Structures are given as C-alpha cells and as structure tokens.
Structure 1
C-alpha cells in the first residue's frame, strides 16, 4: 500500500536558504529542531529512545532528515505529526513514510490536502511584502497523497505517543493548522500560526533576523482566523516557542513580542493589500 502514495504533481526543489540551514538546536534534552533550508523540523524524545517527528521540511529533504535521525536516535519515529500540509512542511514526507512505514497524523480538516483531494490556493504574489512574496507562485501548492496512511488527530486533543502534549487547532494559515503545547514547561511548537522571522523578506529569511510575526502572508487566506489563533496561543503564556520558520525564542523576549503581536495584529500581521485581505469568504480550497 505504500507504493500507492505519491508526491504532489508540482513538487520541485526550491532554491532557498538561510544562515541556519543544515543546523540544529537542542532546546530541551528531549526537544531538538533542525532547519532544512528555511523550515524547522522538530524531533521530540530523548536521544536513542522512542521519539516523534513534527513536520518534514521542504521537497527533497528526506535524506537529510534521515541523517539527523540516525545520529540522534538510531531508529525510526513512532509517529509523524503534521502542523499542516503546505509544501515546506511535508516535503520529505512521502519518502520518509515509504522508508519507515510510520503512521502520520494531522487535523481532519487538513486531510483533503494530504490525500490528493484538494489543492491549496495558489500563493498570493499580489500581497504586500518583499521578494519572497513576489516569487511565491513558484512554490508547490498541489496536494500529496498518503491515501489511507494519514490519520486524523484524536478528538480529545491528545498527541499520539506524546502523553504530555496537546494539539491546539490554530486555523487561518490553513484550515487544519495545529500547534502543539506542553503545559508542564510551557513549550509551544507554533508551526506557522506565528513565526519568528519576517517570512516574505528575502534578507530577513536569509539572515534569520529574529522578530515575532504573524503567519506567512502569501499563503494565509483567512486573516480573521489567523488573528484568533494568535490570541489563543498567547493566552497559554508559552515560555518557549519553536516556530515553523525562524529561531526559537523564550522568556521575556517571547512574551513581550507575542503580546505586541496580539495587541497590534491588524497593523503588524495583516497585509495592507492582497487577494485575501478583507475577504470574508475563506472557502478558497477548491478541488
């Protein structure tokens, strides 16, 4: 059945990088993240013990992830959890699942984009932003197809194989976007609900200039939902965040930056113009 999976029809290597590319950070003894070009991949679990993978980077990232896994764990994960299904978070997924035969979990609203049923809206090159926003139409938006191998996350907000963690529905950037939170030490994996780099700026992405921002503008179609999601995450008072893009952040820098984003979301996050700005119709996800 693994042979029936397939990549998106528009999968291609995206020639983007940052000074953090191919580097890793151990945030806690059991929390490590690795930057694949410009996207962060999280590894939850102590070295050489059972563990879980969160997201899978950009296209052509599988072999790079396997090298990290072999060095840190020496064995495959118990599961793969997806914050969402955009190309830069599922790039290595099909190859990894074929290799590991590991179950994959995502929010049920994200499943159509992981089973070949629906494509994401095309990235909005007209949105206010920098060079990356302008070139975003080159990014893949067609769905991958995991068939019956993708599973919905449990309805009770538990995370498979991670008993201390809960998933939180944080839509806006995509319908089924989730973030992951561990209340005992306040660690948040925010995905793209909010990030710590200005993702539409080529220079900021390249240099990984640290600043709390809303979700990437060119892929976000529901700004009202995105705002509500940021408010929801700020109310958790996270002590550490590992975002989908940018550098991990903690303490006062995180709390102040996140509070500022909540208080000034319309000014700081919502673009002045773009295809989905002031758009009340969030049903842009066509077959």
Structure 2
C-alpha cells in the first residue's frame, strides 16, 4: 500500500512577501526564474526536446501560483518531466504534494535529504538568535517538521547526472542542510545555487521585501553547519559561474557575480557566519 503524502503538522501559509513576488525573468538561456513570495523557483527548459524541469517547489499554499507560471510559460496543461529539490526546507517544498498530485512526475533530492522528505527526521528548529533581523526573529514560526512523500521522492544518482536534465550536474553543497544540492550547467556556466548562498540578506524583512542585491551566505537562522557551508561556497566559486540563480534574491552574473562571490569566499566568517547563535560552534 502506497504511503499517504502529507505535510508536517506545523505547515501553514506565511504572510511574507517581496516586491518581486509573481515576477518572472530570464536568468539565462533556458532558465526562467519566478519569485513566489520570498523564494525563487526555476523552470529549466531542455533544448531540442520541448521539455522542462522544475527546480524547487515554493512556499506553502503556492501550488496555484507555480502552475499558473508554468502554463503562462509553456502553455495550457504544461507538465514538467521532473521536479528537482535543492533541499527540503518548507519554502522549497511548500507546494510539492499538490504538484505531484497534479503532474505525477518524478521528484529527486539528495540521499541525505530523504529523511526530511519521508517523515523520518525533523530539521533542527530555527535559531532566532542568529541575527537581529525581523525575519530571523520570526523564524521559530517557520515549519521544520518532516513532510511525507513516501516513494514519490527518489535519491539523485550518485554520478551527478539527472536523466531529465542533460547537460546539467548536481553538486552536493551541504551546510545549510545535510543533503543540500546545487545544479550546474558546464556549457555556459549557469549555476542554480539553492540556499548554498543567496543574493539578499534573508534575515532582514526590509531587504527581503525590497530584494536589494547583496550576496550573503545561506540563511543564518536555518543553517546548522557553518564549516560545511563555507566549504560549499568555495566549491561553487571554484566553478567560476557566469550566472547564479539563488533560492532568495535576484540572479547575479558577469563581473558583479565574480567579485561578489570572491568577496563572500574571502570574508565568509564575517559576512556569512553569525556572531552568535546555537549553531555557530
């Protein structure tokens, strides 16, 4: 008997948003990014196939918005070949069950992320002491219980490939979560970084709302392993991406991205790591 899919009991709509909510833009060739309240989802087209893949599944109660964006982009009854999750935090899987039920497509995540997606383990609770920003102070209200996708989620292939995304590879970038992954297309050096680093100070309600571009490490209130997070940023910087789409904030490219990412690598302990908090040491 197939396991019933369900969200954690703490899942609920969060009334937070940004001025970019509902806005879609071409971040790179075949990579279309739509902001859902305060988080980005990516629609990755597959050239010569007329197919596409969804990366991440938005905020709780956002399925209708994601479906509408997909149909505006790809036509009525548009359906992806697969959904790839960078990680399982509530703002990246908030609509996943509704999307699976509508589209009936494969869902992939890293093997180390599966316990959080199959009812086995809750994420550590958010740490509001990691920042003085209002979003950080609100973070204890953010869902952290595991969701249950049962057999509908599958571990990514160990060889780094994704069958439905030729030309792309997944890269293990832990720190924010144990099984966090980023996606990279070597042909044109396009990076989908998830929350390995972001381009907005995610702890500040004002900066989240205005979406002012400012490179930062992963969201402080949910990141539990800062040594791994630093290693992951170094790993991504070594790829010399030409374009980076992150889970929060606007895409960056060219010299601005190169300089900002190098600044983050060099000053990670100052820029990214909280001065205090229960996950710092």
Unpaired runs of at least 5, structure 2: none
Per the alignment, residue 72 of structure 1 pairs with 73
Per the alignment, residue 14 of structure 1 pairs with 14
Deviation of the 1:79 alpha carbon: 0.4
Per the alignment, residue 242 of structure 2 pairs with 239
Deviation of the 1:3 alpha carbon: 7.3
For the residue of structure 1 that corresponds to 2:197, the secondary structure is: coil
CA distance in 2, matches of 1:73, 1:223: 39
Per the alignment, residue 86 of structure 2 pairs with 83
Which residue of 228, 233, 248 corresponds with 1:230?
A: 233
Matched, 1:211 2:214: yes
CA distance in 1, matches of 2:176, 2:3: 31
Matched, 1:23 2:26: no
Per the alignment, residue 188 of structure 1 pairs with 191
Instruction: Map 1:117-196 onto structure 2 (within 5 A).
Output: 117-196=120-199
Deviation of the 1:49 alpha carbon: 2.0
The count of aligned residue pairs is 278
Unpaired runs of at least 5, structure 1: 279-287
Q: Which deviations, in whole Å up to 9, do the C-alpha atoms of 1:254-280 show, x marking residues without a partner?
A: 0000001000100110000001111xx
User: Which has the higher mean CA deviation after the structures are superposed, 219-228 or 62-71?
Assistant: 62-71
For the residue of structure 1 that corresponds to 2:232, the secondary structure is: helix
Deviation of the 1:69 alpha carbon: 1.1
Instruction: Map 1:242-253 onto structure 2 (within 5 A).
Output: 242-253=245-256
Deviation of the 1:72 alpha carbon: 1.2
RMSD of Structure 2 on Structure 1 (CA): 1.3
Tell whether the 8 Å contact from 2:46 to 2:165 is kept in structure 1 after alignment: no
Where does structure 1 differ by over 3 angstroms across 4 or more consecutive aligned residues?
none
Instruction: Map 1:33-52 onto structure 2 (within 5 A).
Output: 33-45=33-45, 49-52=50-53
For the residue of structure 2 that corresponds to 1:159, the secondary structure is: coil
User: Which has the higher mean CA deviation after the structures are superposed, 119-128 or 244-253?
Assistant: 119-128
For the residue of structure 1 that corresponds to 2:166, the secondary structure is: strand
Tell whether the 8 Å contact from 1:180 to 1:190 is kept in structure 2 after alignment: yes
Tell whether the 8 Å contact from 2:45 to 2:53 is kept in structure 1 after alignment: yes
CA distance in 2, matches of 1:160, 1:222: 30
Deviation of the 1:67 alpha carbon: 0.6
CA distance in 1, matches of 2:229, 2:25: 27
Per the alignment, residue 284 of structure 1 pairs with none
Q: 1:115 to 1:3 in 2, by over 3 A?
A: closer
Q: Which deviations, in whole Å up to 9, do the C-alpha atoms of 1:47-92 show, x marking residues without a partner?
A: 9921000001000010111111112113210000000000000000
Deviation of the 1:29 alpha carbon: 3.9
CA distance in 2, matches of 1:143, 1:49: 34
Which residue of 96, 100, 104 corresponds with 1:101?
A: 104
Deviation of the 1:242 alpha carbon: 0.4
Matched, 1:113 2:116: yes
Deviation of the 1:22 alpha carbon: 0.7
